[in-house]
Structures are given as C-alpha cells and as structure tokens.
Amino acid sequence: MTDELDFPVAPEPSVVLRVATIGAATGALAGGVEGLGLTIGAKIVLGAGAAASLVGATVVLDAALGLVLGVVAGAVAAVPGRRVMHWKRLRAGAALTVLLLALFFLAPLARELWVLQDRRVPAMGMIALATIVASTFWFNAGYWLRRESIGAGPVIGWRVYAPLTGLLLAGVAALTSGPPPGPTRVPTAGSRSVVLLTIDTLRRDHVGAYGSVANTPVLDKLAREGVLFEDAITPTPETAPSHASMLTGRHPAEHRVIANGIPLKNGYLTATEQLAISGYRTGAFVSSFAAGSTTGFGQGFQVYDDEFSPLVRGLGRARVARLGLPLLLRFGNPAAFPWLLERKAPDTIGQALSWVGGGEGPFFLWVHLFEPHAPYEARGAGVPSAAAVDHRAILAQEPGYAYTAAEELALRDLYRQEVEYTDAQVGTLLEGLKSSVGLENVLILVVADHGESLGEHGIKFNHHGLYDEVLRVPLIAWTPPVPGEEPSFPPGTRVARQVNVGDVANTLLEFSGVPLLSGTQSLPLLSLARGADVPARPVQLLGRATASLRAGQLYGVRDPNGVKYIERDDGAELYDLGADPGELVDISVDQPAAVTSGQLNVAQLREQVGGVEASTSEMLKALGYQD
C-alpha cells in the first residue's frame, strides 16, 4: 500500500533536481562563510570592492560545487524509487549533499592534523563535526520537507534564504575590509628600511657588472655605487630552499626545505619575524607559485601577496580553486593558464609600491620577480628565430624534449631578453620607491635564488645539477649616498671571498640595527664590505641529479679555496675552479685525498637530509619541475 504522504499537494520536480538546488543553496551559504573568512584572514590588501567581489566569487564557486554534489547525492537518493516516500528521498539526498560539502572543507584539515601534525584527536574531531552538521541537517530537513509534503510549510524556504545569506556576507566583508594589522611595537628612533629584491633564475654572468652578455644598466649602476659580491653561492639551486635560507640564515639541511613543495616549519625565527618584533612594517610580493604562501614564508609578514588571479583578488585561496587548479593543470594545458602560476613583474611591483606608500615608519619589503625563469618569452629585439619559439608550449611536452640547434640559439637569446626586461623593471621599482617614500636610509639588497643552465654540461634550460652556472648568483647591496654622511660601505666595493645566500638574513638585520639571528652561520655582509676579517667557510651543496626527483639527489661541497666536490649515486667529480672555472676537467682520479675529504663532508650532509621527503605538485610540474 502506498503512503499518501508520497504524493505532495503541489507538483514537485524530480528528486535529483530538487536536491541539486538544495545543494547549490547550501554551497552558496558555505561560500559566503568561506569568503568572509578569507577576507578576514587574508595577508593581501583588499579594499571594500575587492572584498565584496571575493565573497561573491566564493559564493558562486561553492554554489556550483554544491550543485554538482547535489546531483550526485540526488541520484543516490532517487535509487529506491517509489518504494520510499518522496520527502524521505529528498531528506536523504539533502543530508548527503551537506555531508559531502562539509567533508570537502573539513577533510583536508583533518588530513593535515593527522598526517602532518600527528594530532589524531583533533583530526577525528573534524570528521565528527562534518557528521554532526549533516545529522543536524537530516533532522531539520525531515521536519520541513515532511510539512511541505502535506502543504503545511514553505515551498521555497532554504533555497532562497541560504544563498541570500551568503550574498549578504559579501556586504559584511565590504564593511569590515581593511589593511592587514600593522606592527604592534613602535620602532626605535632612526630605524632604517630594507628592501630584499630576489630575481628568480638570474645567471651571474648575465649581469653587466659581472662581465655580461646582457645589457643591465640598472643593476650595473647599483653595483658601481654599492657593494658587489663576486662569489655568492646558493647551497641548493631551487626557489623554495634558497629563499628559505635567505629568510632563516640556515642551510637547507637545517631548515629542512630541501626541495620545492616542502613548507618551512615554524620552528626557526626568521629575519622577517625579527624585524616585525622590532616594529617594522613587513610586506612580501612574490611572482610565482613556487614562492607562494604554501611555502610557509609568510611567517612575520603582515602582508604576503601571492595573488595571481587577474579577475578577483584572493580567489586563488578558495578551496575549490586550490583543489581544482591541480586538476586543471593535470588534464588541461598549462600553457593556456600562465596567470595561475605566476605574475608579471609590473603587477607585482605595482602592488608592492601601493603597500609601501600606504603606511608610515620603517619597513621590510620583499619583492620577488620571476621573468628569467622558464618559460622564456620574447621581450624585444633578438635573433630572428627567437620570436617563433614558444617555450611555454615546449615545456608542456613530455620530459626529454629534444631541442634543435635553432631552438637552443633562440632560447638563449630569449633568456637574455628576459633578463634585460627584468633589469628595466628593477628600475621601475626603484623609481617608484624614490617617489613614494624616498630612498634615504634604505638598503636595497638584490640577489638571485639560483642560476640557469643554458646547455652547459648537457643541461638545457633548467637548473638541476651542482655546477656553477646554477650555484653562483649575483648579489649586490646598495644604499643611496647621503650628503654629509659617511656611507654604510665604500661605494664600488667588490668582495671577492665566497659568501652564500644564507648571509642575506643577518645582512638585512645588520643594516636595520635589529638584533641578528643567533644560532646561525649567517654573516652580516656589510661588515665584510667594510673590511671585517671573518674566515670564509665551505658551502655544502644539495641538488637534483636531473629535473626529475625520481633520479635522486646530488651532494657536494664548494670550498672557498676553489675546489668543488660533487657526489652522484654512481661516482664523484672534483674540480679545481681556479684553473678550470668551466668545470670541464674532472680531477677526482688524480686527487684521492681531496675526494676522501669531500666524502666525509657529504656523509654528514646525507645524514642531516635523510628522512625528508620532497613532493612536486601539478603547479610545480607546470613550471618545469618533475616528480
């Protein structure tokens, strides 16, 4: 016998359609809550309009997600057919949709608590919370759907109120938006600002001051008027590990960021945190996903702007976007979505200058420019074949692409164009700083995270390996001359001794008059420029054997006396850099004592690194890194 409640008074759409609309409405409400949370917790500068747009966008995205999940849940609920009362099928489908939505937001948090932090009770609490939310919806839906089925309740109800509430939160976000919190402490009188400008993948020999094939007048001027470090080394030629060393003053084996994709943990005090503690405004503006907020570099920054979306600022932080982006890059064409992974220099610089000019007091500004990194793009006049080469499309091919001789020539020229374009952008940044806040008592520290191989040692247009093309980086410190005052260091100084990018941290703090990071080997380089007698140290080296992580790692040591040892899984290499700067003649067979010394050093490094697992996301793959 069929229950009369199976026949509603008013005609109803199918179970699937009805549950889908309930899912869309619930998703819209979830999107409003998520968007409001993003605007409150954002480390990017959002005005009222941008905040409202962000919430509106998350409402739309999560409503679409709820619609899809509702279709799935509705199809499951409709399977019993007429054997189950109509309102019960609707209730089951609606509750299942809410459960799926809750798990979508809470399951990743549970995984992070369980896997990364080993906090199992809170992780299980996240899953329990999703179940509680769905159960609550189950009981409430059972009440209002049953009343609706007999004509005693509203027909629309939740499907109107939920999305309207979500959109209302957009207005709340607009009213409550504002700049991220500033420093909580007043800086000491006479505090001096610092600007760290990192240029991704910039070869040392493509800066004119180092004897370049490129035309870099802005960087050359900084070198003439400041200090040029002739032998600056990165211990690891990858973006995240190198920048982690700059901020912490520690070797990758110590801070544990040994490859892209591994976040910096909160266990070490960074130069940024030290400056923030001392009352500095702190802002970072990065141009690549490889240096984005997922790296953990946001420690101590009041503003950390890694927003690349050209439409809605902050949308990249929405969970649908964060989880959908890898799928898009995995099954789509990365060449078609460059803005998902990187930001153009003018956009990064524009945001940085807006932030600097919008506040008072000493500041620490980090600007990261990405243009020299692959894929290389045409920026001006070059060899005729350069404009015809689409490097982004080449990188989208399977690993092991065979470059033609013409393509190699063109890509070297495109790389040069990228460097020259970046130099001009550095000029734009400096002019903007000068006009907005002035450059008096400001240190500009320019450094690359690593170099690039343009065919040397058989490595083409990538930066794996441990040869000097990828290890030696430009490093320039500059402050404007102040009439009547002693310069911070003799202009035009060239420091020949070996230093490394980990020295950046205490160099920034030294100039600022802020206490140096203790427990590190980070040297204050301005003291070196003024003649301080500090013995040079060897730099332990860590890198990839190939572009693919599966091929294993390389270990090595670069001694300040000009000897480099590299250890591979299948052997070792030894080079006398003084006599053989191109590293063309392996002398390991002739120098067994030096090899033994290198092996002992590398054994220690291997032990430190052991147990750290690197992973490469779809985003990093699209930038040329491989699993």
Per-residue pLDDT tens digits for 43-55: 888 888 988 999 9
What residues have CB less than 8 Å from 462, skipping those under 6 apart?
Answer: 374, 452, 453, 547, 624
pLDDT at 511: 93
Q: Strand 472-473 relative to strand 475-478: parallel, antiparallel, unpaired?
A: unpaired
Global pTM reads 0.86
Three-state DSSP at 424 gives: helix
Position 353 in a domain: yes
Coil/strand/helix, residue 477: strand
Q: What is the pLDDT of residues 435-473, one digit of tens each?
A: 999 998 899 999 999 999 999 999 999 999 999 999 999
| Domain co-membership, 120 together with 214 | no
Q: Which residue has the higher pLDDT, 230 or 78?
A: 230
- The domain spanning residue 383 has which CATH number? 3.40.720.10
Distance CA 210, CA 207 (A): 6
Q: Strand, helix or coil at 148? A: helix
Q: According to the model, what pLDDT value does residue 146 have?
A: 73
Q: In the listed set 536, 560, 591, which residue is the last one of a domain according to the structure?
A: 536
Can you say whether the dihedral through the CA atoms of 499, 505, 511, 514 is positive or negative? negative
Do residues 386 and 506 both lie within one domain?
Answer: yes
User: Are residues 520 and 384 part of one domain?
Assistant: yes
Give the whole-number percent of the chain exceeding pLDDT 70.
88
Q: Which domain holds residue 106?
A: 4-176
Confidence check: pLDDT of 258 > 50: yes
Residue 578 lies in a domain: no
- The sign of the CA dihedral 381, 387, 391, 396 is positive
Which residues, at least 6 apart from 360, have a Cβ–Cβ distance to it below 8 Å? none
Has residue 623 been placed in a domain?
no
Q: Is 615 within a domain?
A: no
- Say if residue 273 is in the same domain as residue 414: yes
Residues 495-506 pLDDT 10s: 999 999 999 999
User: Is position 522 within any domain?
Assistant: yes
> Of the residues 536, 565, 588, which one is the last residue of a structural domain?
536
Task: Give residues with Cβ within 8 angstroms of 409, minimum separation 6.
Answer: 383, 385
The answer to whether 427 and 218 have CB atoms below 8 angstroms apart is: yes
Q: Rounded distance, CA 209 to CA 153, Å?
A: 79
**How many distinct structural domains can be found in the chain?**
2
Q: Which helix (H) or strand (E) element contains residue 142? A: helix 120-149
Same domain, 361 and 421: yes
Q: Which two tokens stand for residue 389?
A: 């080469």
Burial category of 310 from C-beta neighbours within 10 Å (exposed 0-12, middle 13-18, buried 19 and up): exposed
Domain boundary among 536, 558, 586: 536
| Claim to verify: residue 394 and residue 511 sit in the same structural domain | yes
* 286 pLDDT higher than 70: yes
pLDDT for 264? 92
**Whether residue 73 is found in the same domain as residue 209:** no
